[in-house]
C-alpha cells in the first residue's frame, strides 16, 4: 500500500516554500509512488481538516512562485484561539492525522514550527520538518531556504539607498528583518557596503556609533549608511532583555515564568521603536540629517532566487527519500551540498545566532565597518 504523506506550512511566509512543497510532493509521487495531501493554513487548517490533494497538476508551475500555495498561519496546536479563548487542540490535530491514515506529517517552517512539530512527535505522530526562514536562525542546518532571497532584496535596497544618502549628505538608517539574530542585517550590510551594522548579538553604544559617523565626516565622507537589524538593542536594554529571558527559561513555576514573560513583553514593546529612536539620536549627536527606511515584509516577497529554489528542491526531495526509508522524528538539514536528518529534539527550542568570532564579523571589522561596540 502506498504511503500517505501530509504537508503543511506554518509561521511566516518565505520564498522557497512552494519549491519545497513541490520537491517533497513530486519526489514522493514520482520516485516513490506515495499519495500526498496538503493542509491549508498551517496547524489551524489541520485542526479544521481543510485538505487539498497535491496532484501533479497542482504542483506544476509553482517552483518560481513566492509565498505558499497552502497558505500559512502562526497558530500553535496547543494554544489555538477558538471563539475568543486559547484552547489546546492537539488531540484534534492528532485525530485528523489518523483520520487520513497518514504515515508522516511534513512541517515546513522556522523555529516555532520546529517546536510545535516536536510536540506532535511526542504525541506519537511520525514527523519530518524542513527549515524555512528568512532570518536563517533555525538550529542545526547550514542554511534555511528563504534566507538567500531576503538577503538579495535587502542588499539591493542598501545599494539603492547609497545614491540618495550621497546626494543629500545624510545618514540613512535602514531597518532589516531579524528579530533575534543578525544574519540578514550582517550579510546585507557587508554585501551592500554599509558603514555601520547593528545586530542583536552585539549590543550597541549609540555614542560610539555617532562618533564613528563623525569620524567619517571629518575624513570628507559626507554620508553614512547604517544597516540595523530590527532586533538590535542598545547595551542597557539588551542586558535587561537577556536577563529576563534567562529568568523565563530558569523559572521553577508558572508564576515566575509569567512574571518573566511580562518583563520580556515590556522590553519588546520598547524595542519596537528602537530604529526610529536611533535615527533621532544620531541626528542629534552628529548634527547630520538622518532618515529611516524600514524594509519590512518586502523582504519576504517575490520570486525566490535560484539558490533558494535549489536548496528547497534538494531538501524536499531528500525528505521524500527519508520518508521512504522510515526515517522520522527529524529535520532535513542542509549539510554542504547534501542533506542529513537531524533529530528534532536537537532543533526544537534552539536558535542559531551569529557567533561573535564568525568570519563575517571579522571581515566587516577589517574593512572598517563599525559594529556598534
Domain at 151-300, CATH class? alpha beta
pLDDT at 238: 87
pLDDT digits (tens, 9 = 90+) for 157-175: 999 998 888 787 889 999 9
Domain segments of the chain: what residues? 4-145+304-346, 151-300
Number of Cβ within 10 Å of residue 209's Cβ equals 27
- Which residue is catalytic, options 41, 75, 103, 135? 135
Helix H or strand E encompassing 163:
helix 147-168
CA distance 127 to 327: 9
Q: Give residue 272's pLDDT band: very low, low, confident or very high (50, 70, 90).
A: confident
Q: Furthest-apart CA pair in the chain: how many Å? A: 74
Predicted TM-score of the model (pTM) = 0.93
Helix H or strand E encompassing 339:
strand 338-343
Residue 345 has pLDDT above 80, yes or no: yes
Count of positions (residues) in the chain? 373
CA distance 78 to 90: 5
CB contact set of 113 (below 8 Å; sequence gap of 6+) = 10, 11, 107, 129, 132
Q: Give residue 252's pLDDT band: very low, low, confident or very high (50, 70, 90).
A: confident
| Identical fold, 4-145+304-346 and 151-300 | yes
C-alpha cell at 336: 554542504
Query: What is the 3-class SS of 19-72, one letter each residue?
Result: HHHHHHHHHHHHHCCCEEEEECCHHHHHHCCCEEECCHHHHCCCCCCCCCCCCC
95 flagged as catalytic: no
Share of the chain above pLDDT 90, in %: 82
CATH topology of domain 4-145+304-346: Rossmann fold (3.40.50)
- Over residues 195-224, mean pLDDT: 95
Amino acid at each position: 500500500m502506498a504511503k500517505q504523506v501530509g504537508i503543511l506550512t506554518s509561521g511566516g511566509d518565505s520564498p522557497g516554500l512552494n519549491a519545497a512543497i513541490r520537491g517533497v510532493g513530486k519526489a514522493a509521487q514520482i520516485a516513490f509512488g506515495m499519495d500526498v495531501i496538503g493542509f491549508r493554513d498551517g496547524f489551524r487548517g489541520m485542526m479544521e481538516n481543510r485538505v487539498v490533494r497535491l496532484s501533479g497538476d497542482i504542483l506544476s508551475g509553482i517552483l518560481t512562485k513566492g509565498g505558499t500555495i497552502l497558505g500559512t498561519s502562526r497558530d500553535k496546536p496547543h494554544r489555538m484561539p477558538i471563539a475568543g479563548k486559547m484552547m489546546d487542540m492537539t488531540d484534534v490535530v492528532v485525530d485528523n492525522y489518523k483520520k487520513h491514515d497518514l504515515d508522516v506529517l511534513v512541517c515546513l517552517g522556522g523555529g516555532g514550527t520546529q517546536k510545535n512539530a516536536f510536540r506532535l512527535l511526542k504525541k506519537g505522530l511520525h514527523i519530518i520538518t524542513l527549515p524555512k526562514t528568512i532570518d536563517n536562525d533555525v538550529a542545526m542546518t547550514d542554511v534555511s531556504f528563504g534566507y538567500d532571497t531576503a538577503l538579495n532584496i535587502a542588499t539591493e535596497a542598501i545599494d539603492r539607498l547609497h545614491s540618495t544618502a550621497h546626494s543629500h549628505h545624510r545618514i540613512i538608517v535602514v531597518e532589516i528583518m531579524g528579530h533575534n539574530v543578525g544574519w540578514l542585517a550582517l550579510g546585507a550590510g557587508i554585501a551592500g557596503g554599509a558603514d555601520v551594522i547593528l545586530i542583536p548579538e552585539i549590543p550597541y553604544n549609540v555614542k560610539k556609533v555617532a562618533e564613528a559617523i563623525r569620524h567619517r565626516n571629518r575624513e570628507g565622507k559626507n554620508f553614512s549608511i547604517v544597516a540595523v537589524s530590527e532586533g538590535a538593542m542598545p547595551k542597557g536594554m539588551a542586558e535587561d532583555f537577556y536577563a529576563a529571558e534567562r529568568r523565563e527559561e530558569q523559572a521553577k513555576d508558572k508564576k515566575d515564568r509569567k512574571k518573566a514573560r511580562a518583563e520580556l513583553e515590556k522590553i519588546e514593546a520598547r524595542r519596537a521603536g528602537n530604529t526610529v529612536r536611533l535615527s533621532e539620536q544620531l541626528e542629534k549627536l552628529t548634527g547630520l540629517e538622518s532618515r529611516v527606511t524600514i524594509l519590512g515584509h518586502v523582504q519576504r516577497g517575490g520570486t525566490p532566487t535560484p539558490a533558494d529554489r535549489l536548496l528547497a528542491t534538494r531538501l524536499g526531495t531528500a525528505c521524500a527519500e527519508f520518508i521512504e526509508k522510515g526515517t522520522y522524528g527529524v529535520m532535513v538539514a542542509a549539510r554542504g551540498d547534501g542533506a542529513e536528518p537531524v533529530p528534532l529534539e536537537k532543533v526544537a527550542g534552539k536558535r542559531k545566532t551569529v557567533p561573535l568570532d564568525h568570519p563575517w564579523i571579522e571581515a566587516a571589522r577589517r574593512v572598517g565597518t563599525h559594529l556598534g561596540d
